[in-house]
Amino acid sequence: MLSPKLLQALNKQINEEYYSSYLYQAMVAYMEDLNLDGCAHWMKMQAEEEHQHALKIFNYVIERGGRVQLLEVKAPPMEWDSPLAAFEAALGHEKIMTKSISALADLAQDEKDHATNNLMQWYVTEQVEEEANVDDIVKKLKLVGDSGPGLFMIDRELKSRPAPNPVADAGA
């Protein structure tokens, strides 16, 4: 059984994960508007992955006998100054998510809830990967600057991102 404090924090994290998915969907729309199909594809795959992250916690809460409480998801920004600015915003967001996951892991340790701590360790590892992936794209975009051919090449590369593996069940 989850402690009330941990249940509340997990429900908040579900909301944060849904917001992440929503944010990346807004970035899909932005990139599609710029005709950057590869960037849009990358963002779409990221949105799906974030949705799966929400479902993983959602299912975990239910498995532990808790009640999922879906909260209002705030509207994300809809415009960025450039593709680079959008990816920089994504990196900033992932850093915020890392802090949120770390706080949840700390709470699970404080509550001596080993199962939740184990779940959070999966997310801790995932966040290292998330930040590294977005940081790599930001560095490449900075390298090419406003170069049309460079952006075209990065866009083409991002189009090859595979769909995320399902992680919705708590045992994944």
CA distance 93 to 132: 13
pLDDT confidence bin for 170, thresholds 50/70/90 = very low
Please give the backbone phi and psi of residue 76, each rounded to the nearest 5 degrees, phi first.
Answer: -85, 165
Element (H, E) at 115: helix 114-144
For residues 132-161, average pLDDT: 93
Contact 59, 170 (CB under 8 A): yes
Taking Cα atoms as reference points, which of 19, 21, 5 lies closest to residue 104?
5
Q: What is the pLDDT of residues 79-112, one digit of tens each?
A: 999 999 999 999 999 999 999 999 999 999 999 9
Give 131-140 pLDDT, tens digit per residue. Answer: 999 999 999 9
User: pLDDT-derived band of residue 165, with 50, 70 and 90 as boundaries?
Assistant: confident
Q: Residue 171's pLDDT band (boundaries 50, 70, 90)?
A: very low
115-151 b/e with 16+ CB inside 10 Å = b? ebbebbeebeebbeebbebbbebbebbeeeeeeeeeb
For residue 168, the SS3 value is: coil
Nearest CA to 137 among 171, 94, 170, 100? 94
Average pLDDT, the chain: 94
Tell me the domain boundaries of the chain. 4-158
pLDDT in tens, 109-124: 999 999 999 999 999 9
Question: In this predicted structure, which of 24-33, 74-83, 158-167 has the lowest mean pLDDT?
Answer: 158-167
Rg (CA), the chain: 17
65 sits in the region (left: phi over 0; alpha: psi -120 to 50; else beta) called: left
Enter the pTM of the model: 0.92
Token pair, residue 58, equals 């959602």
71, 15 contact by CB (below 8 A): yes
Domain 4-158 has CATH 1.20.1260.10: yes
Q: Would you say 10 and 104 are in contact if contact means Cβ atoms under 8 Å apart?
A: yes
CB crowding 88-98: b at 16 or more within 10 Å, else e? bbbbebbeebb
- Pair 168, 52: CB distance under 8 Å: yes
